[in-house]
Structure 1
Amino acid sequence: MLGFKEIKNGLLVSLWFVFLTFPLMVVKVDPVERIVRWRWENSLYVAIGTFAVFLLVKIIIQRRSRNAAVDKEAEQKKESFIHRVLASPRQKFTLIALLLAVAIVFPLFSSSYQTNVMTTALMYVVLGLGLNIVVGMAGLLDLGYVAFYAVGAYSYALLNHHFDLGFWAVLPIGGGLAAIFGILLGFPVLRLRGDYLAIVTLGFGEIIRLVLENWSEFSKGPSGISNISRPGLFGIEFGLDGAIIYIYYLMIVFMIVTIFIVNRLQDSRLGRAWIALREDEIACQAMGIDKRKTKLVAFSLGAFWAGIIGVVFAAKTTFINPASFTFLESAIILAIVVLGGMGSIVGVIFGALILILLPEYLRALSEYRMLAFGAILVAMMVFRPQGLISNIRRTYHSDKKFPSPTQQ
């Protein structure tokens, strides 16, 4: 049962939430009649709804704590339905084939707008998988990931504008330049971790954005670069609708390749070194792992994927400016990794699809859609703090039995 303290906290939370949502829910300016409409009944609805949700969450949390028959470690190892499906090769390949078939026929049964939105979601899937290498696997909190995204986009825009280079020629160049910038960022932060690392990477992202915004002779400044060529196929130029479908299929290929490479990296010696670095940096170094090389490879590989998607973004929109590469983009990509599950490939995919598609499909709520979106994220973090699909800790067993000292 809930006590007086919980009820008091619920009332305070509901009042605080009414205060936060007051400009959105109560005040409405009518520019035609030039009057302000006060919708006081909405504040009452918000207070009652928030109080009810708070009490419901408290009851669920108390019931969970009472009915918890296993400890925290055993609960983390408990396999979900997704993990059981992925553990079975037959079910896994059946599910992959089904999803791939749906993805291939999706543009044939949807509008260009829906295809364009899905392309954006796939781009964020690849960005999330790239940041997952740095944050989820290596444990390096990077808040300036959008800087590498901007490097790739401006690489294609400038090379296409000045030298008329095509999409496929600049694609590896954009990824390579972003990887170089990742190494340049990695060197100064080798001794940093935690909040200090986050602050430095955040500053690096802002430096890149400010340089692009103020160096007008180089990047055209706030005006941006327009008329960027869309990707072609063996010299064939596509129209607007054809280019949207073509880029959509390109992103499916890029996503499949990225998933394959990141999955192989997880099982490799380098991937295990990243996980060891994330768990305990001092123990990792004591085991003989080169901490400097491991961090630099993580930064460069993560930046490489951001550069690749930056090139795709410039080709997709045909116009870029520094306003497209703000800190909010880094926050969204980081939220994808955290919401999906740190280190989990499947979780990052689901997180990207939810975070990018949900605001689009909540447009029916009009002005309240971002409020509903935020409430969904808060509920997600309350009930699934480990992410949608948490990564199961891998264990390695050896069947070989070594003789005891007395038997030798």
Structure 2
Amino acid sequence: MKMTVSARVGLILAALAFVFLPMVLGGQWIKILISTGCFIIAASGVAFMYSRLGMVSLGQVALMGVGGWVMLRMNHAFHLPFEVNLAVAGAVTLMFGWLLAMPALRMRGLYLALITLMAAGGLEVIFSTFRFPNGGEGFWGVMPSVAAPFQRPLLATEDSDYLRYIIFWIVAAFLIIEMHMRTAPGRAWAMIRRSEAAAYSSGVNVVYYKAWAFGLAGFLAGISGGLLAGGLGLLDPATFRASESIMLFALMVVGGSRGWLGVIIAGILYRVVPALFNDWTIDADLALVIFGAALLHAIITAPNGLSGQLLDLIAKLSKRT
């Protein structure tokens, strides 16, 4: 199968990041990039739903919180291997994705966005009220004292190794989506985006493939939330506010939803830019002004986002040489 320019650039960036980033960065920036990588995985689910199905889901960060909650609870309650806990977190959020798919079977556009946003708001209230597990007793697993230690993968106990582990999962998430795009689900999603009536008349099971898309997005959110829990050891409810899902979606539009480079740009904007402002002793809220200007730029002049403009520039330069 022919590899696109975006895929080639993404693999090159992933290889360079895997080898060099843990070697040259300090401890704090490694943690920031671990968080960035987790949100890149989550953003990939939002991007493929928007670009392939035309559906706006504003609950992805909240689903990350579900995955993180399950990951922490499994770790503290059962002490199973990291990968087993991560698989459970992905499976649980996959089912949450199916629940969100139920209204999507009848609604699109603004109404679907509002329903997913309301779901995110409900999860935000739950997280704020009951907090995240930290080794306590009972169903919620919360104790007032210091959190119990979190068990990372055996090959990634140090932050530098865990960053490489995150990069591996970013590539895996992109490959999972790419595999779907090149097989029957991708063809069905493309037909559904063009016309649901035409898809029905062609024998496409629209209900089935919509539920499949929401389940896949939920699975990626759960994996990213579980990986974030592994990177930080304890999660803060403020990380999973409903407004954060809106921000992640907006930055996905800025970066570009049709290629993996756009998703990477979205994650970098979401996490690295505010961290840079804090490092430079600049109010991080100023980043919102920049994001707003970037969103206007993307809507007016860059329908494929910043990644589309960058890839067009690379294509022009390659033709000249």
Same fold (TM over 0.5): yes
Aligned partners of 2:253 and 2:298 also within 8 Å:
no
> TM-score, with normalisation over the residues of structure 1?
0.66
2:196 aligned to which of 268, 281, 285 = 281
Aligned partners of 1:152 and 1:309 also within 8 Å:
yes
* d(CA) in 2 for partners of 1:146, 1:87: 29
Aligned partners of 2:174 and 2:260 also within 8 Å:
yes
Residue of structure 2 equivalent to 1:325: 240
Aligned partners of 1:174 and 1:308 also within 8 Å:
yes
Aligned partners of 1:175 and 1:305 also within 8 Å:
yes
**Aligned in 2, Cα 1:225/1:389: closer, same or farther, shift over 3 Å?**
farther
Residue of structure 1 equivalent to 2:307: 389
* d(CA) in 1 for partners of 2:34, 2:296: 30
Residue of structure 2 equivalent to 1:166: 81
2:68 corresponds to 1:147? no
**Aligned in 2, Cα 1:358/1:229: closer, same or farther, shift over 3 Å?**
same
Deviates more, 1:376-385 or 1:250-259: 376-385
2:152 aligned to which of 206, 231, 237 = 231
**Aligned in 2, Cα 1:228/1:276: closer, same or farther, shift over 3 Å?**
farther
* d(CA) in 1 for partners of 2:145, 2:253: 32
**Aligned in 2, Cα 1:114/1:328: closer, same or farther, shift over 3 Å?**
same
Residue of structure 1 equivalent to 2:223: 308
Residue of structure 1 equivalent to 2:294: 380
Moved over 4 A (4+): 85-89, 220-225
2:226 corresponds to 1:340? no
Q: CA deviation at 1:352?
A: 1.7
* d(CA) in 1 for partners of 2:185, 2:60: 21
Residue of structure 1 equivalent to 2:179: 264
- Computed over aligned residues only, the root mean square deviation of the Cα atoms, in angstroms, reads 2.9
Deviates more, 1:171-180 or 1:324-333: 324-333
Residue of structure 2 equivalent to 1:101: 16
Aligned partners of 1:213 and 1:222 also within 8 Å:
no
* d(CA) in 1 for partners of 2:298, 2:121: 32
Structure whose alpha-carbon radius of gyration is higher: 1
Provide, for residues 132-191 of structure 1, a one-character-per-residue CA deviation record: whole Å limited to 9, x for no partner.
232222222111122321221111211222222231221111101110111122124310
Paired residue total = 298
2:164 corresponds to 1:249? yes
The residue type paired with residue 119 of structure 1 is I
The residue type paired with residue 381 of structure 1 is L
Gaps of 5+ in 1: 1-84, 393-408
* d(CA) in 2 for partners of 1:109, 1:383: 33
Residue of structure 1 equivalent to 2:134: none
Q: CA deviation at 1:323?
A: 2.9
The residue type paired with residue 76 of structure 2 is H
Q: CA deviation at 1:109?
A: 1.7
Gaps of 5+ in 2: 132-137, 312-321
* d(CA) in 1 for partners of 2:145, 2:72: 9
Q: CA deviation at 1:321?
A: 4.2
The residue type paired with residue 108 of structure 1 is M
Aligned partners of 1:135 and 1:141 also within 8 Å:
yes
Provide, for residues 46-80 of structure 1, a one-character-per-residue CA deviation record: whole Å limited to 9, x for no partner.
xxxxxxxxxxxxxxxxxxxxxxxxxxxxxxxxxxx
* d(CA) in 1 for partners of 2:267, 2:202: 35
Q: CA deviation at 1:107?
A: 1.4
* d(CA) in 1 for partners of 2:79, 2:87: 16
Aligned partners of 1:156 and 1:314 also within 8 Å:
yes
**Aligned in 2, Cα 1:227/1:293: closer, same or farther, shift over 3 Å?**
same
Instruction: Determine what percentage of the aligned residue pairs are the same residue.
Output: 24
2:119 corresponds to 1:204? yes
Q: CA deviation at 1:88?
A: 10
* d(CA) in 2 for partners of 1:202, 1:88: 30
* d(CA) in 2 for partners of 1:102, 1:139: 31
* d(CA) in 2 for partners of 1:159, 1:189: 30
* d(CA) in 2 for partners of 1:277, 1:222: 48
Q: CA deviation at 1:97?
A: 4.0
Provide, for residues 193-241 of structure 1, a one-character-per-residue CA deviation record: whole Å limited to 9, x for no partner.
111111111121222233344458532579699324131317xx84xxx
* d(CA) in 2 for partners of 1:229, 1:152: 15
The residue type paired with residue 127 of structure 1 is A
Provide, for residues 255-303 of structure 1, a one-character-per-residue CA deviation record: whole Å limited to 9, x for no partner.
1111222222222221122123223333333332211011100000000
Q: CA deviation at 1:362?
A: 2.5
* d(CA) in 1 for partners of 2:75, 2:101: 29
Give the secondary structure class of the aligned counterpart of 1:388.
Answer: helix
